[in-house]
Amino acid sequence: MISDYRWYWSAGLVVVVTLIYFLQPILSPFLIGMLLAYLGDPLVDRLEERGLSRTLGVVVVFTVASSVLILALIILIPLLGHQISTLRDNVPAMIDWFHNSALPWVEARLGISVSDFRLDSVRDSLKEHLGQTTSVLAAVVTKATKSTMALITLAANLVMIPVVGFYLLRDWDLIVARCRDMIPRHYEPLTVKLMHDCDEVLGAFIRGQLLVMACLGVIYWLGLWMVGLELALLIGLLAGLASIVPYLGFFVGITAALLAAVFQFGDLFHLIAVVAVFSVGQMIEGMVLTPLLVGDRIGLHPVAVIFAILAGGQLFGFVGILLALPVAAVIMVLLRHFYQRYRDSAAYGHAPVAADVSEDVESNEVEQK
């Protein structure tokens, strides 16, 4: 009988994977809405504890989140547009500086020849293509607007994301309870424990690491802005996004900031200031942000994050990227569970038995003395 149930669950898993593969063009708004509901559920639960109804709590959370998002877009989009234009104008000059100043300095200091490392073609290509950025974007927008179906699909997705997120967040506890009722009674304790562990892993990463990313992006942006770097917002945003993998944001951000500072200022003071900004950011992350937002919960390993995102994107495109981290969390929890069962089984070896025997021998010696 149990084997029959296993066949049912295996068939169900195959059906789910098949549906995800064939329905991935329309799954994005549902998955993003589910992610929003998952992120907002703890906030709504706290509002419920303070006496608000579930629906009113969802309305409050959505109103505050939407206001913050709209305000951030109003402030950041013009600044980002200006800095991208600045980068577009400066990249050819940066390549000229690298070719005419940096490479000769390397040759003089290290005694090696890099004369074959020519960047003329790269510079000319960038000048040609970066100068066409505006026209390319305009062509893409024009082509998209000419396709009525594509425009309707985009508008529908933008509308569906908050709608799906609202209803899923409102009924989140009910959905979880219904899913729990569907679990066979024989497997319910183990399944609930595994799902709790998955929630701990995902919570440590999504609710924790994403907040750490946002805070680090703001810290790097403000610090580099105080230094006077023209591309402060762009580099801060890049470093914050790269912080999805611990320490990657630091290395990416400080490398880009140092190159920008050398090109813009060319003195030692600003280089030290850039290093100080990222050093302070790392100290704040280690002593404040990570203990406060992530805590001591075991999240996803950085290598697992990188592999999951790349594998998900390769297999299922954008939908695979959205599903990568939850699936990686489930796989990691299952692996830990099977590893623990293996450690508790007789197949693990004689280490526990040997330990017990040594303890018995020691106790016998004590009794004899």
Q: Residues in the chain, how many?
A: 369
N- to C-terminal Cα distance for the chain?
Answer: 57
Going by C-alpha positions, the residue among 284, 274, 216, 275 that lies closest to residue 245 is: 216
Is 263:97 a contact under the CB 8 Å cutoff?
Answer: yes
Q: What is the pLDDT of residues 168-192, one digit of tens each?
A: 999 998 998 998 888 878 878 888 8
Cβ–Cβ under 8 Å, residues 336 and 299: no
Residue 163 CB neighbours (<10 A): 11
Contact 299, 209 (CB under 8 A): yes
pLDDT below 50 — which residues of the chain? Answer: 1-2, 133-137, 140, 352-369
In sequence order, what DSSP letters do the residues of 173-187 get, joined into one string?
HHHHHHHHHHS-TTT
The predicted structure's pLDDT at residue 295? 65
For 27, the token pair is: 């799954």
pLDDT at 122: 53
Q: How far apart are CA 239 and CA 246, in angstroms?
A: 11
Assigned token pair, 165? 């997120």
Residue 154's pLDDT is what?
Answer: 74
Closest Cα partner for 85 from 134, 153, 47, 152? 134
Biggest alpha carbon distance in the chain?
94
Instruction: State the Cα–Cα distance between residues 40 and 328, nearest whole angstrom.
Output: 21
Q: How far apart are CA 347 and CA 342, in angstroms?
A: 7
CA 200/CA 173 separation, integer angstroms: 17
**pLDDT reported for residue 158:** 82
The pLDDT of residue 363 is 47
Tokens of 228: 């006077």
- pLDDT, position 218: 92
**C-alpha–C-alpha distance, residues 51 and 201, integer Å:** 29
pTM: 0.69
What integer pLDDT is reported at residue 360 of this predicted model? 46
Q: Which two tokens stand for residue 298?
A: 């075991």
